[in-house]
Amino acid sequence: MKTPQSNPLRVLWLCVISLFAVLVVAGCGGSDDSDSGGSEVTEIGKTEGQLNLIAWAGYAEDGSTDKTVDWVSGFEKQTGCKVATKTASTSDEMVQLMRTGQYDGVSASGDASLRLIEGGDVQAIDMSILSNYADINPSLKDTDYNTVDGKNYGMPHGWGANVLLFNTDEVKPAPTSWASVFDPAEASQFSGKITAPDNPIYIADAAVYLKEHQPDLGIDDPYELDEDQFNAAVDLLKEQNKMIGEYWPDATKNISSYTNGDSVIGSSWQYQTSALEGAGEPVSSDLPTEGTTGWSDTWMLSSEAANPNCMLEWMNWMGSPETQAAVAEWFGEAPANLGACELTSDPKHCDTYHADDQKYYDQIAFWKTPVSDCGDDRGTECKTYDDWVQAWTEIKG
Amino acid sequence: MAAEATAPAPRRSAGKRLADLFQGRPRLTVAALLAAPLGWLVIGYLGSLAVMLIASFWHLNELSGEIQQGFSFDNFNTLFTDDVYRTIAGRTVGVAAAVTVTDAILAFPIAFYMAKVAKPRMQALLVIAVLLPLWSSYLVKVGAWRLMLSEDGAINWALGPFGLHGPGYGTIAVWLVMSYIWLPYMIIPIYAGLERIPDSLFNASEDLGAKPGRTFRKVVMPLTFPAIVAGSIFTFSLTLGDYITPANVGDKQFIGNVVYSNFVSNLPLAAAITTIPIVVMVIYLLIARRLGAFEHV
């Protein structure tokens, strides 16, 4: 009598089920505890010869985009740290890349930095070990997006505003208000050719608009919105969505959509404006009267950095007046170190970007992570970044 | 005769001893041969699917946005209560079906010509021609279409003199581009299926008095249908999961886009969303099996 052969299919199912069971048990075991803070870095040691950075496009130029634009080579020569840069297009991407632990540092905007600090992904630093920190614009020091519990977490890099970029041939006269992208009365003439950043943080831009045009909502901080304020902003964006041609996920796509004629007006950065103007496209940008959102970036050190000393040297390098001048002019932003203002090839650069203009600076609502704690007498009923992300999916449809 | 002391049998080499181990043990041989591919299938593929499905029950720490590994149905709750996910899923399945039907209609005449009408040399050339687009990168093709469909692009330029305007970016553009990109995946299975039909069947049908239309409906279609279903699995599933084409030429979100945008900031929700196409595909494959797609393919 033949012994029954084991059914191979049954064996396969058994393997799958047992594997599943193992993973369920492993997965249900405990929750991640985040270690925030920890010890401060108090000295720079010997450099390691390698540096892995996460940066915005245009922040770590090594001559490959434009031969004359290069501040990486000088750094490599001086410190012996070979730089490898991963360009990211959103703060979300940067946070996720930092969490892999494979990078030494990041140029974090305010909507990423708090998440990184809270998640224990970056280290506090005693800033006195970085010689250029002393010359940094005081407005950028000890802000609520780079300092927690009195501990500093990075070297300020520079800041900029989100501007209204428009095609000068199609949009006449030059727009002065965000109503030209939000209010159907003014925006519908551009319907199908309006663009906006594909980023949940754009909800704050709607809040900035409503702060002036619907004052009874009582919006003060566009990142701390309660139920009514949030719903009003989301509704405004859903209305805008009907007029949107496409959202732009990164600077390159934004530039090509103006070049191809698919967009004529929308929120953008000075970087795209300069790039398009440099290519001879009929565009211009300005800062509407309602004010705007903006970003203020800080170089931060990963708590799992394989090359922490190289990163600290990089942070100091990026804070030096020469590098600050080069970056600010190339990218199109206000430098963090005002000593750069004398070194820019365009002597009016700092004036153009209001680098020393406190009033202008105060008009900008810099990106920061929305959290439930409203920070005022409303308590903890404000919408979190999670809510913003989900709402963004609804807005896009 | 003096008996010579026989030298002890030479020790078999390690390789030969290993071979001895498998001698006469067919099940061990099969197991050893299958261990690597099965390991990849179970651990690498099914295992990662399982981890992802488990992740769909997790949620995020509110302040830091880190993943907390507790069990909750929150994500599935969101999927059911928020209308937008239903809309997106419906849109994706609808476009996937449209692409499948379009490709089936376009592919059949081409495959028929290749299988039954073309001379052998022409056949070889046509096969190369059909497969040639697959040699270029997917992104290059989507990028090319993006330029063609743009406001100042080739399509508007060509239609301009007639007073017409191209579809621009949108769901129609997504359907158009996907139909183009997946067409070879539909042509080849149908071609293979048609090749298997002996020419004698056509002659026999004609001898029995059937006109070409009747032959097509009663002889060719039933025999090719499993091949068409097999090809449709490609076009349907590839469209269902795609996010690059909608991101480049679409203006509304598809399932892939929602997964992509949540992947970085809210992995558990992204994992929950992926259960939708998995369920759809399981149902589709069961139906396909019923229709005989997995026989003689």
Q: Is residue A314 domain-shared with residue A347, that is, in the same domain?
A: yes
Question: Which residues form the domain of A333?
Answer: 50-159+295-357
Q: Which residues of B touch A385 (CB under 8 A)?
A: 65, 265
Residue A385 lies in a domain: yes
3-state secondary structure of A255: helix
The shortest CB-CB distance from A34 to any of B58, B66, B252 is to: B66
Residues 164-223 of chain B with CB under 8 A from chain A are 168-169
Residue A25 lies in a domain: no
Q: For residue B59, is pLDDT > 50?
A: yes
Q: Is residue A108 domain-shared with residue A244, that is, in the same domain?
A: no
Cα distance between residue A183 and residue B233, in whole Å: 45
Q: Where are the domains of chain B?
A: 85-290
Q: Is residue A172 domain-shared with residue A231, that is, in the same domain?
A: yes
User: What residue of A is the nearest CA neighbor of B148?
Assistant: A260
- According to the model, what pLDDT value does residue A107 have? 95
Q: Note whether B61 contacts A: Cβ–Cβ < 8 A.
A: yes
Q: Note whether A389 contacts B: Cβ–Cβ < 8 A.
A: yes
- Segment (H or E) for A185: helix A184-187
Q: Is residue A347 domain-shared with residue A202, that is, in the same domain?
A: no
More confident residue, B292 or B234: B234
In one-letter notation, the amino acid at residue B203 is: N
List phi, psi (to 5°) of A305: -65, 130
Q: Which CATH number fits domain B85-290: 1.10.1660.10, 1.10.3720.10, 1.20.58.390, 3.40.1390.10?
A: 1.10.3720.10
B16, two tokens = 């030969």
pLDDT tens by residue, B135-151: 999 999 999 999 999 98
- According to the model, what pLDDT value does residue B249 have? 92
Quick one: average pLDDT of B256-276? 89
Give the angle subtended at the CA of A263 by the CAs of A258 and A265, to the nearest 5°: 100
Q: Note whether B5 contacts A: Cβ–Cβ < 8 A.
A: no
- According to the model, what pLDDT value does residue A144 have? 82
Q: Is residue A310 domain-shared with residue A349, that is, in the same domain?
A: yes
pLDDT tens by residue, B202-250: 999 989 998 988 988 888 988 999 899 989 999 999 999 999 999 999 9
- According to the model, what pLDDT value does residue A11 have? 65
Nearby residues of B290 by Cβ (< 8 Å), 6 or more positions away: none
CA distance A249 to chain B (A): 9
User: What residue of B is the nearest CA neighbor of A90?
Assistant: B264
Q: How many domains does chain A have?
A: 2
Residue A21 lies in a domain: no
Residue A33 lies in a domain: no
Instruction: Please spell the DSSP secondary structure of B95-144, one letter per residue.
Output: HHHHHHHHHHHHHHHHHHIIIIIS-HHHHHHHHHHHHGGGGS-HHHHHHH
Residue A41 lies in a domain: no
Region of B24 on the Ramachandran plot (φ > 0 left; ψ -120 to 50 alpha; else beta) = left
CATH of residue A384: 3.40.190.10
Quick count: other Cβ atoms within 10 Å of Cβ A101? 12
User: What residue of B is the nearest CA neighbor of A115?
Assistant: B64
Residue A6 lies in a domain: no
Closest CA to B107 of B190, B226, B213, B175: B190
Q: For residue B256, is pLDDT > 80?
A: yes
Residue A71 lies in a domain: yes
Q: Half-sphere exposure of residue A336, counting CA atoms within 13 Å on the CB side?
A: 26
Q: Is residue A253 domain-shared with residue A387, that is, in the same domain?
A: yes
Instruction: Please spell the DSSP secondary structure of A4-41, one letter per residue.
Output: PPPPHHHHHHHHHHHHHHHHHHHHHS--PPP----PPB
Whether complex ipTM tops 0.85: no
Residue A149 lies in a domain: yes
Residues 253-312 of chain A with CB under 8 A from chain B are 260-262
CA distance B63 to chain A (A): 7
Contact check, Cβ <8 Å, B266/A393: no
- Segment (H or E) for A351: helix A349-352
> CB of B150 within 8 A of CB of A192?
no
Interface test with A, best of B58, B148, B255, B264 (most A CBs within 10 A): B264
Closest CA to A210 of A226, A190, A194, A192: A226
Q: Is residue A154 domain-shared with residue A167, that is, in the same domain?
A: no
Per-residue pLDDT of chain A (397 residues; tens, 9 = 90+): 444 455 666 766 676 666 666 666 655 544 444 444 457 888 888 989 999 999 998 899 998 888 888 999 999 999 999 999 999 888 888 998 999 999 999 999 988 888 899 889 999 999 999 999 999 999 999 988 888 888 999 999 999 999 999 999 999 899 999 999 999 999 999 999 999 999 999 999 999 999 999 999 999 999 999 999 999 999 999 999 999 999 998 888 999 999 999 999 999 988 888 889 889 999 999 889 999 999 899 999 999 999 999 999 999 999 999 999 999 988 888 999 999 999 999 888 898 788 888 888 888 999 988 888 888 888 889 998 888 988 999 999 8
CA distance B281 to chain A (A): 19
Q: Note whether A22 contacts B: Cβ–Cβ < 8 A.
A: no
Q: Is residue A105 domain-shared with residue A204, that is, in the same domain?
A: no
- According to the model, what pLDDT value does residue A21 have? 67
Q: Is residue A73 domain-shared with residue A142, that is, in the same domain?
A: yes
